[in-house]
Chains A and B, each alone.
Chain A
Amino acid sequence: MKLEKLFIKIGIGSLLFTIMTGVVLADTDADSTQLEVDVQDAITLVCDGGDGTTETVDLGTLTAGTPVTGSTTCEVTTNAQAGYVLEVEQDGASGSTTMDNDTNDSWDIADKTSWDQTSNAGDGNAAAYTGTGLGFGVLSSTATKNTTWWGGAAACTDAAQLYAGFPSNGAANNNIMEHTSYSLTSTNTIICYQLDVPATQRSGVYHGTVTYTATSSL
């Protein structure tokens, strides 16, 4: 900051008047620094409103020839600036299939063709439910549902809902939902299950475990 002032100077014993300008009274200096910070991403996944532990979906009593359906809702909360992906796989405890009999784990319920997002040039390999076997499909999402992968159905029983089998434990290419943008609020994805069995399926209680995983994208 510079101040320019006028001052009048009168010499002693003289009547000479001198006017001078351009005197600096105050000085200033400045410098800058750039601040940088990284905000850590975090993600939480809760399926069916539980506390993160295993949730049970009861498909009820199945009569061969009459499919049953059920669903799971998975809620994801994340600040990830590029969104997240949702994956699913069976836990592998039942061997090559998802569900086996409680009495004898060699008595299995067949799975539909295992889901592979890269099949058919990235269109996936889910299909309309026919015949028998356990299948799953994404019904809806407040994040991003891929209708090419899963169809445009409004209910799990709709013919337009596409189904695939659960990928084996550790399988790759098992994304079932890909959300590529930041969401301020939580997002919910509903996954349908549909199951029918042949008349030769041994009776009894069958169980199986699948695991959903949400991974933030940076």
Chain B
Amino acid sequence: MINMKKITIIIIGLLILPVIALAATDGVYNITVDNIGFSGGESITDSVYDLFDTIGEPLVGIANSEDYKTQDGFWYIANNTISLGLDSNTKDLGTVVAGTPNTAMTSVTVITDAPGGYDLLISKDHELTHSIDGSTTIPDYTGSIATPTTWSGIGLGFTITSGTDVDVKWGTTPNNNYAGIPNLDTVFHEKSGYTSGDDITVIEYKIDVSGTQRSGEYTNNITYAAISKL
């Protein structure tokens, strides 16, 4: 008899224990969702694998009318979307005279319903390369994303001039700090929390060359990627 009572108490406790998981939002209000069930909503990890699980959600799915849409249940809220757009697919840094840097800007617009915001990554396909000989290059600026530096010397670099949650390491105009653009996708900006609508980050490129840099046109491609976060 005593053992049976203990079991009953445990079950009731699990049934009424809310598990705070994610927010639901209509773009104006955020509602922290109680995942009413046995368990779930939090990541279980052994540093190699992550397991997200829920147990016992009674009502799940998508309901919508002409003007409103709800996503009920942990998994429907977690299934977020993200889009990234650039103000232009070409940027002309102009004609650079050795010793006098040129600049140009790119606006990156991200739209996501992810409650945790997003990470922004940057990479290049190769160094700026001479269009005629195909081998002469303009080097990367020596600063790094981990440690951007006050502009000095030559090369192609970038900085963040405006955005949300911009790290202080990038400085503020006109005292920006610059980094070279890596060959592999690298996180250079982290936006936390939910934003309704467009979130715009403005990147400035800067370039200078040595007096011996072969004259002519140089090109490369810069790729930006955004990854949503819970």
Contact = CB atoms under 8 A, between A and B. Distances in A.
A121 interface: no
Contacts of A184: 212
Contacts of A38: 94-96, 215-218
Contacts of B213: 39, 79
Contacts, number: 174
Interface in B169-205: 205
A6 B51 contact: yes
B82 A10 contact: no
Contacts of B91: 33-36
Secondary structure class of chain B's binding surface, majority of residues: strand
A104 B15 CA distance: 120
A44 to B, nearest CB: 10
Chain B CB count within 10 A is highest, among A10, A11, A39, A182, for A39
Contacts of A28: 82, 225-228
Contact of A29 (B83, B96, B128, B209): B83
Secondary structure class of chain A's binding surface, majority of residues: loop
Contact of A9 (B57, B96, B211): B57
Nearest to A183: B212
B214 A30 contact: no
A182 B79 contact: no
A179 to B, nearest CB: 14
B160 interface: no
A26 B115 CA distance: 11
B97 A42 contact: yes
A32 B221 contact: yes
Given A34-B90, A40-B96, A79-B213, A26 B54 contact: no
A32 B209 contact: no
Contacts of B207: 37
Given A1-B227, A26-B227, A34 B89 contact: yes
B93 A37 contact: yes
A126 to B, nearest CB: 31
A212 interface: no
Given A29-B83, A32-B89, A32-B221, A37 B96 contact: yes
Interface string A9-30: 1111000000000011111111
23 contacts: A1-B227, A3-B50, A5-B51, A7-B75, A23-B78, A25-B52, A26-B114, A28-B225, A28-B227, A29-B110, A30-B84, A30-B223, A32-B221, A33-B91, A34-B91, A35-B104, A35-B128, A37-B219, A39-B209, A39-B214, A79-B214, A81-B214, A218-B216
Interface of A: 1, 3, 5-12, 23-42, 79-81, 182, 184-185, 216, 218
